[in-house]
Amino acid sequence: DRPDIANPVRTRAIMNTYGIAVKKSLGQNFLSDVNILHNIVSAADITDDDDVIEVGPGIGALTEQLARSAKRVLAFEIDQNLIPVLAETLAPYKNVNIVNADILKVDLANEIAEHLPDAETVKVVANLPYYITTPILMGLVSAPIDFAAIVVMMQKEVAERLSAEPGTKAYGALTLAVQYKMQARLAFTVSRTAFIPQPNVDSAIVTLTPREPLIEKPFSDDALFRLIRGCFAHRRKSLWNNLQSIFGKAPATKVELQASLDEMELAQSIRAERLSLEGFIALTNVLHTHNL
Ligand code: SAM
């Protein structure tokens, strides 16, 4: 019986055998602490009813632990050099499927239909490549898929943004995009010593679970996200200034903008970071009634 892939001695042996030179540009930091992997799998509450999507299996440390608990694991790895390594390290697990692809380019709904037929409960579990944490999260929460959970490791600063409250520095467009679909909770932090090689930042595991249904819905998701992005485009500027950047400064437009703010009882000087998700949804709909 071989030790876990995540065992530091085995991790180094695999890297030596395959001559793996870690690619920093791909955010390659391999987890080599099996206890942390067990904690991630428990945070995601993986059972044999769950199909799991993993982003960036690396040499398979997390994939292995997922394969032992889940029904099936579908993992996307961009680095072609790691594909033969994964074929060997994960050979004992028949429920694992590795796809050599860029997670930002795949159509996840199609991939699920193709590789996970009859999937019922789909969860995402990953130790993310940090250089693309934000686009990956945005892609996951805007995909037309009802994930039962998304449990992901990321740099601590980004983790704090996901669960941030209005009015704080960490609160912004990413917070709102994620909270529109999911409820975020910072599960636990992870020391940089748990990785080979060690990253330059501290890490945290975030669990995202489906949120309570919203009472008011935006008339259009695209309009809501256009408004959110635009209102945080210049964080230091007032909501009023950002609204004019989005909708224009024509006198007729300004009249409608002012009427919308009045209806919402919002001062011109307020900043976007003061507005809750519900506030942004209400503002989207009020602006719409003013033909904006
Ligand atoms: N899961 C492994 C672990 O926990 O030890 C490795 C995690 S490492 C932080 C991130 C992994 O994501 C690397 O294997 C890297 O090659 C892969 N990766 C980077 N960019 C990617 C992309 N655009 N699509 C898919 N995988 C990517």
Q: pLDDT means per 10 residues in the chain (292 residues)?
A: 90 96 96 96 98 98 98 98 98 98 98 97 98 96 96 97 95 96 97 95 97 97 95 94 96 97 96 97 98 94
- Determine the Cα–Cα distance for residues 257 and 108; give it in Å rounded to an integer: 38
Ligand 1 centroid, distance to 16 Cα (angstroms): 19
Interface ipTM = 0.99
The verdict on whether residue 110 carries a ligand-binding annotation is: no
> Which protein residue has the closest C-alpha to ligand 1 atom 14?
58
Strand ranges (DSSP E) for 195-274?
A: 195-196, 203-210
Phi, psi of 40 (to 5 degrees): -65, -45
* Strand-strand pairing, 149-155 and 72-77: unpaired
Secondary structure of residue 162 in the 3-state scheme? helix
- Determine the Cα–Cα distance for residues 188 and 274; give it in Å rounded to an integer: 27
What is the per-residue pLDDT for 2? Answer: 80
Residues 6+ apart with CB under 8 A from 181: 141, 142, 208, 210, 211
> Which protein residue has the closest C-alpha to ligand 1 atom 5?
30
Ligand 1 centroid, distance to 58 Cα (angstroms): 5
pTM comes to: 0.94
User: Which residues form the pocket of ligand 1, taking CB atoms under 6 Å from any ligand atom?
Assistant: 26-31, 55-58, 61-62, 76-79, 102-104, 127, 129, 132
Query: Alpha carbon of 58 to those of 87, 88, 129, 189: distances in Å?
Result: 11, 13, 10, 21
> Which protein residue has the closest C-alpha to ligand 1 atom 11?
56
Inter-helix orientation angle 221-231/173-181, to 10°: 160
Task: Count Cβ atoms below 10 Å from residue 162 Cβ, excluding itself.
Answer: 25
* Strand-strand pairing, 121-127 and 50-55: parallel
**Nearest CA among 217, 162, 193 for reference residue 31:** 193
